[in-house]
Amino acid sequence: MTVSRRDFVKTSVLGAIATAAVSNPKDSVASTIATDQGHASQNDAKRPIIICAHNGYAYVEAAYAFLKSGGDTLEAGVRVVKGPENDPNDDSVGLGGLPNEEGVVELDACCMHGPTRRAGSVGGVRNIKNVSMVAKAVMEHTGHVMLVGEGAERFAAAMGFPRENLLTDRSRKIWMLWKEFNSDRDWWGPGIADPHWQAPAPSSKPQADLLRDRIDQLKQRAVDLGIEQQFLLSAVRRVLFPPTGTIHCSVLNEKGEMSGITTTSGLAFKLPGRCGDSPIIGAGCYTDQDVGSAGATGSGEENIKVAGAHTIVENMRHGMSPQEAGIDALKRIMRNYNGDMNKLRFMDMTYYVLRKDGAYAGVSLWEGYSAGNPHKIVVHDGTLRQVIATPLLKGYSQEWPPFPTIPEELKKDSEYLK
Ligand code: GLY
C-alpha cells in the first residue's frame, strides 16, 4: 500500500510530554556525579591515550600504534576520525552523512594542534568527504583559522582533495522519507492525483496511537522508497528524531603533547548553511596541552551557547577533575533552560574530556537514548575499551521533534543506538 504524505497527520504532543516529563530537576540529577571523579589513565601519567566517540572504535587500534611509534597527536586523531568520514554506512559524518533540507550533504570540522598551539576549521563544506583533513590543511597552509562554504570547498580542491558526491543512495532515500513526512505543506511526496492518496481523517485517537500510526505509515513509505529491510527502523527513527551524529577525538602522547579534532555532517535535514558546534573552536573542540583537551557530540546549538569544550578545559585549569569539568558544562546547558525538563529532554550532549596527565572522563546530559543503550566513549591507553559516560540527568533523551514515547521497536534499533 502506498501511503500519502497527507496521511502523516500532524499532531501536537507537547501536552502529553509535559505530563510525562520530570517536573523537578533535582529529582532527575543522577546521584553518581557527587562521588565519581572520573577515571585515571590505567598507567603512569603521559602514557599515550586516545579517547573518542563510539563510531571511532574500529580505527583507534591502528591510530594508537601510530601514536606509540612517535606519530604526531593530531595526525593520530585524523587517523581515527577519517575512518567514519570514509565509511558510507556511517550517516553522521563525511561520505553518506545525512543531508540538509535540500538533500545536499554539508560537513563541518575543526582541529587544534597542541604542540604548535594552532587551530583550523571548516564549515558548511560540500562535495569533500575528509573535512577533518581540510581543517588541518587550513591550519597548516593558510594564515586563517576558519573557512566556510564555497571558499572552503575551493580551498580543499586546490589542496588536492577530490570532489565527489557525498549523498549515498541510502541517505538520499532517508532524506526523501523525511521530505515526504513533512510534506503536508509543500509539494513533495505523492500528490492528490496519486491513486493511493487519501484525505487525512479527523482522529480522536490518543497521541500514542497516532504516533504508532505514523510509524507504520513511515515504515511502509520507506519500503516503497526501496530502503533495505535492515535499515527501515533506522530510517524511521532518523526522520522522527533527526540526529546530530559526530565524532570527536582527543589525543595525548608520551611527551605530553595533545591534540583534538571533531568532524560531522551536523544536524540531519538542517537549513542550508547551518553550522553546529563541530567547526567552532571552543565549542566542538578545544585543546590546550598545558591543561587538557575536550570535545563534544550532541545538540550543536546548545553546546555553542556554553562554549562547551573551552569551558571544560578552563574548568580543569582551575582545578576541576575531568568529570567535574564536563558536568559543570552540562549544568550550564541545564541552566540555560532554567532546568525545564520539558525542554531538556529534547536535547542531549556527550563530552569527551582528557587531562594532560592522562586522566579522562566521558559525561553526558542524559544516560542515553533509551534504556540499555547508555552513552559510551572509546578509550585506548594500552587497552582498547568502551566506557559508559557519566550522566548528569537520570533518564533518556528524546530528540527533536518531541513525541510522547519512543516505541519499543525503535528502542531495539541497535544499529543507531549503539
Ligand atoms: N554536534 C553536531 C551538530 O550539532 O552539528
Query: pLDDT (tens digit, 9 = 90+) per residue, 52-67?
Result: 999 999 999 999 999 9
In this predicted structure, what is the pLDDT of residue 237?
86
Q: Over its length of 418 residues, how does the chain's per-residue pLDDT go in tens digits?
A: 333 333 333 322 222 222 223 334 444 555 333 333 456 554 445 689 999 999 999 999 999 999 999 999 999 999 999 999 999 999 999 999 999 999 999 999 999 999 999 999 999 999 999 999 999 999 999 999 999 999 999 999 999 999 999 999 999 999 999 998 887 656 666 776 777 766 666 666 666 666 777 888 889 999 999 999 888 888 988 898 888 889 999 999 999 999 999 999 999 999 999 999 999 999 999 999 999 999 999 999 999 999 999 999 999 999 999 999 999 999 999 999 998 887 888 889 999 999 999 999 999 999 987 777 899 999 999 999 999 999 999 888 764 444 445 556 655 554 433 3
Neighbours of 68 (CB within 10 A): 15
From residue 38, give the alpha-carbon distance in Å to each of 62, 294, 362: 26, 14, 8
CA distance 375 to 380: 17
CB 253 within 8 A of CB 48: yes
Range of the domain at 8: 1-418
How many structural domains compose the chain?
1
Query: Which residue lies with its CA nearest to atom 4 of ligand 1?
Result: 300
| Rounded distance between C-alpha atoms, residue 244 and residue 242, angstroms | 7
With a 6 Å cutoff on the Cβ, whether 262 touches ligand 1 is: no
97 in Cβ contact with 127 (< 8 Å):
no
Active-site residues, by number, are 246
* Other CB atoms within 10 A of residue 343 CB: 16
Question: For residues 56 and 362, is the Cβ–Cβ distance under 8 A?
Answer: no
The CA 368 to ligand 1 mean position distance, Å, reads: 17
The four Cα atoms 144, 284, 300, 322 give a dihedral, to 10 degrees, of -160
Q: What's the confidence (pLDDT) of residue 11?
A: 28
Residue 123: exposure state from Cβ atoms within 10 A (0-12, 13-18, ≥19): buried
Asked if 3 and 199 count as a contact pair (C-beta separation under 8 A), the reply is no
Give pLDDT tens digits for 128-156: 999 999 999 999 999 999 999 999 999 99
Q: What is the pLDDT of residue 151?
A: 98
Ligand 1 neighbourhood includes 297 CB (under 6 angstroms): yes
Q: Are 352 and 362 in contact (CB under 8 A)?
A: yes
Pick the closest to residue 345 from 406, 269, 304 (CA basis).
406
The two beta strands, 49-53 and 376-380, are antiparallel
Cβ–ligand 1 distance for 348 under 6 Å, the answer: no
Predicted local distance difference test score (pLDDT) of residue 109 = 98
Instruction: Enter the C-alpha cell of residue 1.
Output: 500500500
Question: How far away, in angstroms, is 236 Cα from ligand 1 center?
Answer: 20
- 278 Cβ below 6 A of ligand 1: yes
d(CA 108, CA 125): 7
Q: What are the counts of helices (DSSP H) followed by strands (DSSP E) for the chain?
A: 15, 15
The dihedral of CA 321, 326, 331, 336: what is its sign? positive
**How many C-beta neighbours within 10 Å does residue 188 have?**
15
Residue to mutate, 81, 264, 301, ligand 1, most ligand atoms under 8 Å from C-beta: 264
| pTM for the model | 0.85
Amino acid at 101: E
- DSSP per residue over 106-168, as a string? -EEEEEEETTTTEEEEEEEE-S-S-HHHHHHHHHHHSS-SEEEHHHHHHHHHHTTPPP-----
